[in-house]
Structure 1
């Protein structure tokens, strides 16, 4: 692991915040690192305000989208809400359909089949709309590259409104409205919304048009917060406001389907991390193992008994997903070793038997072992389909684009993408992708990095300090949970490996002259036992968290890495 200590901000800025906020220098430093340099900015950070959301009509084409939806309602048209099969897509479809249905009945939902139709807008979906007399499709979390599909729909007198957040191509589809803050010709002030977030801006605009208030929209924010957490978008600006209020809804008045999931895991208060690891995987499991429409059914169900049934089925899907994930990861690692590709600059693996629903998760697992840009392919109809994942700082979307001569279709982000290609182009693509990565990846990008906010003494970790740190939440990209490092640490003699396979490390740490003992746990750090428990001093990188045990709550260091002094 590569430890990178963030640069110290200017002392004047830190001192100014210390004076204005009456906080310790370490707190002021953390704030300045996040671009917060005044009392006003700190207030906005610590107390997100729903009224600070931008006017939705600042987004290009928003007026056209609202006008077309209102015309459809006035003319009694059938509206099809269409979205991708992942968490962002299914929450967006649930959001849009449940909002529209609150005042208009002629609304139905459509999620493409991951296996038969693949990602995004499909010809089958448009044919379904034609066969069932839908004249307007609202596409969420997809569509910004669907030039041919939108043209095909237009020939059938079916209009499209697209709500997307992916990077557009050179051409924009000829839809009635294309809402995408990443459009070059869109001057919307915040361009990091997820697909569900763009969908929320559309219902916000509709609400303004219908003289509704933000209070009418608050119940939908549990869906938006779930999408923000799952899609790993920056936890800044509007995303932070929406996630903050969405978490309140999740913990105090969640929709029936989300409550059914929470009841199964028996967790009292959820953080954004819990949403990432508890709610999101279960919603995703439906689309991965069966069909994404089951997630929409759960998220739009109002009867608790029915929701519990849906949640129970999705829980089984999640268990199946975990087993597939484990098996395919094992096979993929074997393939890398068999082909002597351990020293490659990229990972590209394929098997026609691998389940398409989990190849994205497997790609992430492979990065844990071989830290490099990774694509996992499987057979999808007559083509090969892949999920791509990347490492910190490396743009995998751009790398795939440089191999586009061998690619049929692709889309995604800097760190995650999907693509399809013809079987005869697989080996050519694999060779070209390795060549592109080798030529463009830096040595630093090939080593996992821990970004450290500050070096502190353990004595600075007080209950008050932790209470302030908790107010930095919700955490996510651009506002990660603060990571600290300390030096001169020793274990007091009670350190041991824990866990069934002893892969984890539990320590009781002392720091210099401080006579206090600090409990610490390092998941996956069991191999560091000898380094920490031989009586010599060491350094640790860690987060600060709470440990709840037998009704007691204590502070605990969550170790990220340990190294020799």
Structure 2
């Protein structure tokens, strides 16, 4: 692990902010690091307001999208809401279809089959629309590269509205409206919306035309917050406001599908992290193991008892997904060893039997072991399909662009992408991708980095400090949970390895002459045990969290890494 301490903030600005807000210097430093350097900006940050959301009509083509939907309603046309099979796609479809059904009866939904149709807009989906007399398709979380598909639909007299957030190619599809804040000709002020966020802006614009206010749309924000969490978009600006209010809905009055999933958990209040690791994988599991339609049915179900049945079925899917993920990860690691590819600059593996639904998860697991840009391929029809994942700071989308001569189709983000290619091109692609990564991945990015917000004394960590720090939530990209570093630490002699296989580390830390002990836990850090033995001094990087045990609540340090002094 490379430890990287964030640059010092301006001491005068930080001190003034600390005085204005009545908080200590370290907490003020956390705010200044996030671009919050005045009382007013701090107030806006700590008290997100729905009225701060941007006017949806600032997004290019929004007026055209609204006009076309209004025309479809006036003419009693059949409308199909189309979305991808992941969390962002299924929440988007649930959001859009739920809202449109309140103003128009003829609404159908469509999620492509991960295996038969693959990612994005499909010809099969357009044929389904034609067969069912559907004249307008609203595509969410996909479509920005569907040039040929949109043209095919147009030939059949079917219009498209695209709501996407992925990077466009050189050409924009010839749709009635293309809503994508990442379009170069779109001047929308916030560029980091997820697909469901773009969909929300469309229903916000539609609602405005009907005399509704943002308060009338709050009940949809549980879906938007779930998509923001799952799609790992920055928790800044508009996303922060949407996630803040969406979490409130999730914890107070969520839709039946989300309530049914929470019903199975022993959790009083969910955080964004809980949504990422508890809710999102279950929604995803439907599309991975069975079909994304199950997730949409769960998220739009109006009867709670029926939602509970859907949720238990999806829970089974999620357990199946975990087993597949474990098995395929083991096989992929074996393949790397057998082919002697541990020293490669990139990880690229393939087996035709691997389940397409979990290869993205497996790619992330392989990065945990080898920390390299990673692609996991499987057979999909007569092509090979892959999920790509990257390491911090490396743009895998750009790397794939440099290998495009061997790729049939690809799309995605800086850190996650999907692609298809022919089997005969696999060896050429693998060699080219390895070459690109070798030439463009700086040596500094080949080791995992821990970004440290501030160096502190453990003495600063009080319930008040934790309470104020927690108001920085919801945490996520560009607003991560603060990581701190402390030096001159010792274990009080009771530190030990814990867990059934002794893989975790549990410590009682003391700092310098301060004899107060601080509980600390380091998951998967049992191999650091030698560092804390014999009361030798060490330094640590950690987050601060609460530990709930036997009805008692106390602060504890969640260790991220340890090093000898």
Question: What TM-score do the two structures reach when normalised by structure 2?
Answer: 1.00
Deviation at 1:30, TM superposition (A): 0.6
- Partner Cα separation in structure 1 for residue 476 and residue 231 of structure 2: 10
Deviation at 1:213, TM superposition (A): 1.2
Deviation at 1:481, TM superposition (A): 0.2
Residue in 1 that maps onto 2:443: 443
Residue in 1 that maps onto 2:337: 337
User: Structure 2 matches for 1:143-162, cutoff 5 A?
Assistant: 143-162=143-162
User: Structure 2 matches for 1:488-499, cutoff 5 A?
Assistant: 488-499=488-499
User: Structure 2 matches for 1:17-28, cutoff 5 A?
Assistant: 17-28=17-28
Residue in 2 that maps onto 1:45: 45
Residue in 1 that maps onto 2:191: 191
Structure 1, 56-65 or 97-106: larger mean CA deviation: 97-106
- Partner Cα separation in structure 2 for residue 175 and residue 31 of structure 1: 42
Residue in 1 that maps onto 2:374: 374
- Partner Cα separation in structure 1 for residue 479 and residue 152 of structure 2: 42
User: Structure 2 matches for 1:205-354, cutoff 5 A?
Assistant: 205-354=205-354
- Partner Cα separation in structure 2 for residue 266 and residue 101 of structure 1: 33
- Partner Cα separation in structure 2 for residue 399 and residue 150 of structure 1: 27
Residue in 1 that maps onto 2:550: 550
- Partner Cα separation in structure 2 for residue 550 and residue 67 of structure 1: 58
- Partner Cα separation in structure 2 for residue 437 and residue 481 of structure 1: 30
- Partner Cα separation in structure 2 for residue 41 and residue 116 of structure 1: 49
- Partner Cα separation in structure 2 for residue 265 and residue 428 of structure 1: 47
Residue in 2 that maps onto 1:133: 133
Deviation at 1:22, TM superposition (A): 1.7
Could you give the per-residue CA deviations for residues 327-369 of structure 1, whole angstroms, max 9, x where no partner exists?
A: 0000000000001110110000000000000000000000000
Deviation at 1:192, TM superposition (A): 0.1
User: Structure 2 matches for 1:503-542, cutoff 5 A?
Assistant: 503-542=503-542
Secondary structure of the equivalent of 1:265?
A: coil
- Partner Cα separation in structure 2 for residue 171 and residue 144 of structure 1: 9
Residue in 1 that maps onto 2:14: 14
- Partner Cα separation in structure 2 for residue 49 and residue 459 of structure 1: 34
Deviation at 1:473, TM superposition (A): 0.1
Secondary structure of the equivalent of 1:534?
A: helix
- Partner Cα separation in structure 2 for residue 69 and residue 43 of structure 1: 38
Could you give the per-residue CA deviations for residues 384-430 of structure 1, whole angstroms, max 9, x where no partner exists?
A: 00000000000000000000000000000000000000000000000
Structure 1 consecutive aligned stretches of length 4 or more whose deviation exceeds 2 Å: none
User: Structure 2 matches for 1:461-476, cutoff 5 A?
Assistant: 461-476=461-476
Could you give the per-residue CA deviations for residues 124-169 of structure 1, whole angstroms, max 9, x where no partner exists?
A: 0000000000000000000000000000000000000000000000
Residue 102 (str. 1) matches residue 102 (str. 2) = yes
- Partner Cα separation in structure 1 for residue 58 and residue 26 of structure 2: 38
Secondary structure of the equivalent of 1:317?
A: helix
Secondary structure of the equivalent of 2:277?
A: helix
Secondary structure of the equivalent of 2:112?
A: coil
Structure 1, 13-22 or 546-555: larger mean CA deviation: 13-22
Could you give the per-residue CA deviations for residues 93-143 of structure 1, whole angstroms, max 9, x where no partner exists?
A: 000000011121100100000000000000000000000000000000000
Secondary structure of the equivalent of 2:535?
A: coil
- Partner Cα separation in structure 1 for residue 495 and residue 153 of structure 2: 65
- Partner Cα separation in structure 1 for residue 89 and residue 444 of structure 2: 34
User: Structure 2 matches for 1:449-464, cutoff 5 A?
Assistant: 449-464=449-464
Deviation at 1:548, TM superposition (A): 0.6
- Partner Cα separation in structure 1 for residue 541 and residue 249 of structure 2: 33
Residue in 1 that maps onto 2:168: 168
- Partner Cα separation in structure 1 for residue 366 and residue 197 of structure 2: 30
Could you give the per-residue CA deviations for residues 167-213 of structure 1, whole angstroms, max 9, x where no partner exists?
A: 00010000000000000000000000000000000000000000011
Aligned residues: 565
Deviation at 1:533, TM superposition (A): 2.2
- Partner Cα separation in structure 2 for residue 19 and residue 453 of structure 1: 20
- Partner Cα separation in structure 2 for residue 551 and residue 266 of structure 1: 14
Could you give the per-residue CA deviations for residues 508-559 of structure 1, whole angstroms, max 9, x where no partner exists?
A: 1001111110000000100011111232010000000000111110000000
- Partner Cα separation in structure 1 for residue 445 and residue 18 of structure 2: 35
Could you give the per-residue CA deviations for residues 235-282 of structure 1, whole angstroms, max 9, x where no partner exists?
A: 000000000000000000000000000001121100000000010000
